[in-house]
């Protein structure tokens, strides 16, 4: 959910500024909430790296405490495709599989069909 908010905010920020923004810039413009803008939310640490040579960004979400606050890490870039993997607390990358909508828990437990996806790390 938080990475989706970042994706929407980045699209708006880019439309207004012709560049992508950091978490701090997105929060200062009111495009994401201030808690997310500080980089930690719901047991996950969020970072955004704005590319310098070409328009783009990479967003990362990793558990603050691996196995306690979550196991999977998440990655998203300007394509808005969220990727996830259990990287033992390390960051995910564009090489990881796209997020499987059939999993709802940061611990990888399957959800029941039709149940709202409450994954906190994305």
Q: What are the per-10-residue average pLDDT scores of the chain (122 residues)?
A: 94 96 97 96 97 94 96 96 95 90 44 41 57
The answer to whether the beta carbons of residues 10 and 21 sit under 8 Å apart is yes
User: What pLDDT does residue 106 have?
Assistant: 45
pTM of the model: 0.80
User: What pLDDT does residue 1 have?
Assistant: 84
User: What pLDDT does residue 108 have?
Assistant: 45
Q: What CA–CA distance (Å, rounded) separates 26 from 108?
A: 30
């Amino acid at each position: 959910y938080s990475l989706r908010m970042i994706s929407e905010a980045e699209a708006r920020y880019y439309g207004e500024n012709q560049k992508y923004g950091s978490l701090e810039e997105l929060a200062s413009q009111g495009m994401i909430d201030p808690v997310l803008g500080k980089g930690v939310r719901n047991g996950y640490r969020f970072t955004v790296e704005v590319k310098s040579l070409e328009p783009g960004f990479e967003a990362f979400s990793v558990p603050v405490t691996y196995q306690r606050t979550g196991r999977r890490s998440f990655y998203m870039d300007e394509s808005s495709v969220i990727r996830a993997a259990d990287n033992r607390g390390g960051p995910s990358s564009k090489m990881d599989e796209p997020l499987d909508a059939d999993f709802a828990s940061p611990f990888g437990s399957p959800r029941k069909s039709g149940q709202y996806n409450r994954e906190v790390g994305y």
